[in-house]
Structure 1
Amino acid sequence: MRNGVLPNGESQSLYYSDDHPTMPGYFKGMSRILEEHGFIEEAKLPASCEKFKCKDSKASCCCRQVLYNQPDFVGQKSALVELIEAHGHLVIFYPKFHCELNFIEQCWGAAKYDYRRLPLTQNEAQMDANIRQCLDNVDIVKMRRFANRSARFMDGYQRGLTGSQASWANKKYHGHRVLPESIMNDLEAAKVV
């Protein structure tokens, strides 16, 4: 990780210097880094909350959360972004899509499922033939079903459903292209949280 920035603007090394008497080149630790930042009381907090589950992302409940809320840590770019920008290019990371929203992922999944059920191949030509056969097994009817399934998930998420609610609604209304207007009442009646 790169150096941090102290409140006075100086660079803050996250590692002890190579000539340190007891810990040359070792990571300083979160509490020491916080002390150098001027957070004396926060440095006495536990390293992290239980199972890294902080109740509030802006709270000062543990050293880890206090560090994560510091501007020099939050605003740090990854090495990949810095490398790309150094070459004069713009970096845009798209959010990760859930596979249930992309029917092509479901088509790949169906082909992989078929392929895994086949016996082991003896050579590359046989493997190539098996792959092509498994891809051909995902016919247009299955693709349309996967597309409808994706549309139902999108419709559910647009209506504010959680992942488990959208999954339940997708199973219940698998013959529909979109979810009915009464979906919220149906979820409440079925006690799906």
Structure 2
Amino acid sequence: MYIDGHECEDVVAYREAFVKRWKEYERRFIIYDNDGNILSTPVGFPVPQIGRFRLILVTHDESTFYENDRQKTKWTQETEKASTEKKGEGQSVMVSEFLTPDWGRLKDGDEEARVLFKAGKNRDGYFDNDDLLAQVDTAIDIFEGKTNGFATGLFLFDNAPSHQKRAQDALSARKMPKNPHATWRHHQDGPRMRTTTFGENNTVQDFYFPDDHPTMPGWFKGMEIIIRKRGLWPEKGLNAQCEGFNPISSIRSQLSRSSSHDVAISLRYRISPKTNNIKEMEENVCNSLDDIPLIQIRRYANRAARFIDSYAQGLTGPEAAWANRKYHGHRLLPPEMAAKLKKEFLEQYNKLKTTVVSIVS
């Protein structure tokens, strides 16, 4: 487990907020044990502002597979002659996929959310935010077609930079002029910033004058006019950008029809068969991924849930990894074991530390 910087103050604060939110979501999941059987089903309780009580977890991940990345040892016939291995990684195929513990791959009949992408300058280019948004749109359509309105999808993404890109019409104070401007947009040739609301009464805040304004039709109002309307403009003025401002990402905007949060949950498998061309490689990749059984996906989801539950009980990253090894057969960490595991981990850590010091000495 990669834990460098895991206990930094900002990381811990983000983790605590996420774990708290996750625990609320988890109450609306169907829970499976490591044999793939239903362990519990959600019991109804009020959910503010949401019409669909049932929540289905849908995770996203991207993996790149290389032509020459395979096992280096294998069983062969005694008469088979050795062949020279190709140098380098070879051609690559990137797979962008959505998985759910309930069904496995996100697909409905012949329609599927999986995307194969040949990344590279002289190939398909690079999988960017626009490509992901197009895939997300397809994934939402498949999810809604499959659930037919009985559930809400909880789409989870990791914190890759392309997943955090702001929507074209997201609110942003960056580069925003102080005074009215006839043509200002946050992005050149981009759309206007979206209308928003503020205050307890959700007062509408439009950043542009109406198109029938007598002197400035369709102009951007400028920061000062916008803030003065709220009665917040001080005599000394304000900074153009406030510390801690969290703009809306384009993915969150795209998922406005469902709930969303960011988390890293990934599945990676090594592809073994040799390939002669890119088409054959794509077939091998798809066949290998399709062979992953649903029970394996559910077990991996349980492993992720154990980490989250360990954090919820106050364990650190290394302690959570230790707990996962000790209780790999459980989905959740028994509450009474948290203090015991902390003690065991500390004893093992001090023992290892003493051994290292002795060797160095």
TM-score where L is the length of structure 2: 0.29
Q: Is the helix fraction higher in 1 or 2?
A: 1
**Which has the higher relative contact order, 1 or 2, with Cα contacts under 8 A spaced 6 or more apart?**
2
TM-score where L is the length of structure 1: 0.46
